[in-house]
Structure formats: C-alpha cells, structure tokens
C-alpha cells in the first residue's frame, strides 16, 4: 500500500521576506516604548533611593548636633569627576554600605551614572581635595519647592539657606545640558521631567519644612 501524500506548499522567498520585514517593523515600534518604560522604572527606583538617603542624612544630623557632612569637591586629581560625591562619613559610621573604589567610599551608585555615587550638597563646610576650603555655595531659586523661577541667590551660611541639604541623580543623560546646568541641582529648568530628555532627579530638605522631590 502507498501512503497518502503529505506534501504541503512551502513559503516562497517573497513571503519569507515579508514576514521578516513585518517582524522588524513591529520591533521598531515596540523597542522605543520598552526603552521609555525601562527609563521610567529606573527613575522610580532613583526617587525611592534618594528618599532613603534623605533618611540617612537626617539620622546622621540627629546624632551629630544637627550638623551635616561636608561637601566634597576634587580638582586636578583622579577624583575630579567625582565632584559632590556622597558623604563618606555616612558609610564610615554605618548609616550606609561602604564601597572600596575611589569616589565610591559610600556605596550608593547612581543607576544613571555607573561608577559614580549620587550627588550631595549643602550650604556648609566644603573639602577641596580633602582639605578645608570654606563653605560650599548653594544656589537656591526664590520659589522653592516649585523651582521654576530663574531668580535666586547663592547661600554659603547654613543658618540662612532655605535648603538644608540636597541629593540628586544626574539622570538618564548625565552629559546633557540640563544635567550639567550651571545652577544644578535646584534650578527647575535642570530637572528631569519626561522620558527621552535629560535632567536631574532631586530630593531636598527645606530649612523649615519637609523633604520634597522634583517632579
């Protein structure tokens, strides 16, 4: 007996190319959406970690007579790119995990800027290359917490500054004009507001108010 034929028509080359083209078109439509979703998820994570860092700073302040760690600035050294690195004091005293790499003594890595900590600043003592260098100057807009005003001033006296401290991430495009704004991080025009654009993600403590975050 002969088996019945099971031959089926195969795909033609044109049909195969059309399927490949359709898959490529769908991928081109979906990948940007997936990238935006991933960026949004990372931004949510950053805001959550900045809230935890704010709590660590307040705990440190409570344990040190309302004093905050100094701001660190480095120049002409291998740590120059680690300006305003997160305070090593919080790691040394157990408020945060310790790291073992230059610029990462406090192991709080900015997910948007691998190899670097989140940034920290206050109107208060500053260390330049680990040596005392007066007080750090912090620019504060007149309309905080909105941050939309381009009017403001620099504060170096911690008792006069309307902001106690500020911590921030350089955002998804660390080298963008927004993230490198000369009045970062408290200028509203430097803040991250939507996917696909640069800008910093910020959390700050007002002098006579609560902690607030950028949009």
| 94 inside domain | yes
**Residue 184 has what DSSP assignment?**
T
Distances in Å between the Cα of 147 and the Cα atoms of 111, 159, 213 are 24, 20, 11
Specify which residues 201 forms β-bridges with: 169
Domain total in the chain: 1
| 53 inside domain | yes
User: CA–CA separation, 84 vs 69, rounded Å?
Assistant: 11
Range of the domain at 180: 39-213
Q: pTM of the entire structure?
A: 0.84
User: pLDDT digit string (tens) for 91-145?
Assistant: 999 999 998 888 888 889 999 999 999 999 999 999 998 899 999 999 999 998 8
| 16 inside domain | no
In the chain, helix, strand, coil percent, each to 5? 30, 20, 50
| 1 inside domain | no
Would you say the C-alpha torsion 101, 109, 61, 167 has a positive or negative sign? positive
């Amino acid at each position: 007996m002969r088996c019945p034929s099971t031959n089926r028509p195969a795909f033609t080359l044109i049909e195969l190319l059309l399927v490949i083209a359709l898959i490529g078109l769908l991928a081109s439509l979906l990948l940007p959406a997936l990238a935006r979703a991933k960026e949004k998820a990372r931004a949510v994570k950053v805001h959550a970690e900045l809230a935890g860092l704010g709590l660590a700073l307040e705990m440190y302040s409570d344990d040190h007579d309302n004093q905050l760690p100094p701001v660190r600035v480095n120049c002409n050294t291998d740590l120059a790119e680690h300006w305003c690195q997160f305070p090593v004091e919080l790691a040394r005293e157990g408020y945060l995990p310790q790291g073992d790499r230059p610029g990462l003594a406090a192991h709080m890595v900015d997910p948007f800027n691998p190899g670097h900590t989140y940034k920290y600043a206050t109107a208060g003592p500053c260390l330049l290359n680990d040596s005392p260098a007066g007080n750090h100057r912090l620019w504060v807009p007149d309309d905080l917490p909105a941050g939309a005003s381009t009017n403001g001033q620099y504060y170096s006296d911690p008792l006069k500054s309307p902001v106690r401290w500020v911590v921030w991430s350089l955002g998804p495009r660390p080298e963008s004009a927004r993230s490198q704004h000369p009045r970062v991080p408290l200028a509203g025009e430097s803040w991250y507001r939507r996917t696909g654009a640069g800008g910093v993600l910020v959390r700050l403590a007002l002098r006579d108010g609560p902690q607030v975050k950028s949009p």
